[in-house]
Amino acid sequence: MATNEHEINRKRRNNHDSEVSSDIGDDDFTKLSLSPPGTTRPRLLSPTPRPPFQEILSHPPPQPPFQEIFPYPPLPLQLSPSHPLFMAPPPPPPPPLPPAATPPSQHRGRKNPASKPRAGKSPTVPAPFPWATTQRATVHSLHHLLQNQIHSISGQVQCKRCEKTFEIEYDLHNKFIAVGKFILQNKHSMRDRAPSIWMNPALPTCRFCNQENSSKPIISGNKKSINWLFLLLGQMLGCCTLEQLKYFCKHTNNHRTGAKDRVLYLTYLGLCKQLDPAGPFDVSVMKK
């Protein structure tokens, strides 16, 4: 077990080391998009070797020239080219809530995307990053970001050893594919709880002292300003406190009770859903 965890950490570190460089080539996500859901056997998160991301990725099949058809890369996690997001832009974001109170009886459906702020709190906040919206704990969709030429997501980290801080940039598209693919391949074994690799994330290597697994993301003490997308792409959401994760869930889906592994899982799924609203990230679906 320990050996395998070490192996996993080593691989994750390698991912971090490559940072902006792509983990996954264009051919590979095209393959992912085209594969029927059943072709990759679900692998358990167990002491056996890691799900064969690299193995899958090292055999790119001949591909149709998607890039020539679409002005932006196809969204990665759609399983069929007939997926609605291929054909049409996503619906516009909902208008800000009117200040007037709505009748309480209308709040039964699952449409209510977030709990309402307490009285005296504005329903919106200044967007803390270009990739964040003015809704608390909410980021723009991948479609929106790529259309607006936002391709890399940056964040600050600090080395636990030399204490220097520096910025890391992640390639939005490639990193999101990596996260989504991990979820797709492991969701059955997760059982609605974050696996240990999410609970104890591998950290990037320090750019100054080269200490491995040492650079912790700097997480804003002001929860409105947490860089959620950066933490998702680096798979470092586990560095958040339970309270911070509950804040995310409170403002996005209301399932905010439970232990950290449960709330962390909901945070991962919730952020992926924000990025790819039509993607396979529904918690209720995955519970089955």
Distance in angstroms (rounded) separating the CA atoms of residues 279 and 180: 9
Tokens of 101: 């109170």
Q: Which residues is 217 bridged to in the sheet?
A: 157
Instruction: Give the one residue of 43, 161, 216, 224 binding Zn ion; rule: CB under 5 A.
Output: 161
In contact, 278 and 261? CB cutoff 8 Å: no
- Residues near Zn ion (CB under 5 A), total: 7
Per-residue contact string for residues 187-206; x = within reach of Zn ion by CB under 5 A: -------------------x
270-288 burial: b if 16+ Cβ within 10 Å, else e = bbbbbbbbbbbbeeeebee
Count the Cβ atoms, other than its own, within 10 Å of residue 125: 20
- Is 162 near Zn ion (CB under 5 A)? yes
d(CA 170, CA 131): 13
Judged by CB under 5 A, the chain residues 243 through 272 that form the site for Zn ion are: none
The nearest distance, CB 217 to Zn ion, in angstroms, is: 14
User: Closer to Zn ion at the Cβ: 19 or 192?
Assistant: 19
Q: Minimum distance from CB of 231 to Zn ion (Å)?
A: 20
| Residue 213: CB minimum distance to Zn ion, A | 11
Chosen residue from 159, 183, 264, 266 binding Zn ion by CB under 5 A: 159
Measured from the CB of residue 168, what is the shortest distance to Zn ion in angstroms?
Answer: 13
Taking residues 209 to 248 in sequence order and writing x for each that binds Zn ion by CB under 5 A, - otherwise, the string is x-x-------------------------------------
Alpha carbon of residue 285 to chain centroid: 18
Q: Per the structure block, which two tokens stand in for 64?
A: 């149709």
Which residues contact Zn ion by CB under 5 A? 159, 161-162, 206, 208-209, 211
